[in-house]
Amino acid sequence: MGRICIVTDSTSDIPPELRESLSIEMVPLKVHFGDEAYLDGITISPEDFYVKLAGEKRLPTTSQPSPLDFLAVYNRLAAEPGTVIISIHLSSSFSGTYQSACMAKGMLETPADITVVDSRTATYGIGLLVVEAARAAKAGESKEYILKRVEELRKQTTLYFLVDTLEYLHKGGRIGKAGALLGSLLQIKPILSVEDGTVVSVDKIRGTKKAMIRIMERLAERYQGPVRVAVAHANSMEYAEELSALIHQQFEVVEMMYTTIGPVIGTHVGGGTVGVFMVPAHGGR
């Protein structure tokens, strides 16, 4: 068996140094400010994006990679005989990225062993799966083992996130104008999650601190043993550290990391967003 290569897209929000250390290939999505197009995480950094976003009156738009973008990566990797490719991407409910990857697989002139996986999640929910797959590949595990482990981890992962303002959810069509205005006036913080590939509101709490405490309560209902945790934030390290402190008070944390929500996901949630991703530390509940 040849080497196993792991491919993802930029919405996985894996810190660049971690991605590079595990030899993970990343295909970027694009973010558009008017006529200006940027490659997510490549020609615009998250930090520069949030500065630019705050100064824009119009919401930027985003676009998926083309099949040709994926094809270029697949052809390069498959040039080495026996290479196996596992390509893990943003939920197909959010974007056509997964479909572009599937189309690229069908366009290869030389048949290659490629499995395209719909993560059914977003941001570091994807990242957890990709990093796990890359670590397993580096350890010499089989394709079958890696795919099974990715599916197990997807089911074991819980994601909750809070947005600082409902403005971006409103502009993106997630909530109506009246709901956004009322929520902002009352400081109502919807606790959001991703279930079966789509964003859902699981609770509504008044005030950020109370919402974070409610997230801890919900997580404690599922996890009793040691956990691994990632905290993602959209230019809001203060919120991330506050959430992290609550997690450490409540849980036995064996691994904690921070990651920044990139430009594409940031377009739809806005600056100030913070989220937690939790999985059991040893593969169980």
Q: How many domains does the chain have?
A: 2
Quick check: is 100 in a domain? yes
Sheet holding 113-118, edge to edge: 25-27, 4-9, 84-89, 113-118
Sole residue written with tokens 């590939």: 197
Quick check: is 45 in a domain? no
Quick check: is 241 in a domain? yes
Quick check: is 53 in a domain? no
Are residues 226 and 90 part of one domain?
no
27 vs 219: CA distance, rounded Å: 32
268 vs 161: CA distance, rounded Å: 13
Q: Which residues lie below 8 Å from residue 214, measured CB to CB, with a gap of 6+?
A: 191, 203, 205
Are residues 172 and 116 part of one domain?
no
Are residues 18 and 131 part of one domain?
yes
Among 125, 155, 185, give the residue marking a domain's end. Answer: 155
Are residues 220 and 105 part of one domain?
no
- The answer to whether the CB of 256 falls within 8 A of the CB of 229 is yes
185 vs 256: CA distance, rounded Å: 34
Quick check: is 97 in a domain? yes
279 vs 285: CA distance, rounded Å: 8
State both tokens at 275.
């989220």
pLDDT for the residue numbered 232: 97
108 vs 74: CA distance, rounded Å: 8
Are residues 192 and 137 part of one domain?
no
Nearest residue to 63 (alpha-carbon basis) of 88, 24, 28, 35: 28
State both tokens at 45.
């950094």
Q: What is the pLDDT along the chain (285 residues), one digit of tens a residue?
A: 679 999 999 999 999 999 999 999 999 999 999 999 999 999 999 999 999 998 988 889 999 999 999 999 999 999 999 999 999 999 998 899 999 999 999 999 888 999 999 999 999 999 999 999 999 999 999 999 999 999 999 999 999 999 877 666 556 554 444 344 444 545 678 888 888 777 788 888 888 999 999 999 999 999 999 999 999 999 999 999 999 999 999 999 999 999 999 999 999 888 999 999 999 997 543
Quick check: is 99 in a domain? yes
Quick check: is 150 in a domain? yes
- The answer to whether the CB of 221 falls within 8 A of the CB of 190 is no
Are residues 150 and 211 part of one domain?
no
Are residues 273 and 219 part of one domain?
yes
Range of the structural domain that residue 86 is part of: 4-29+64-155
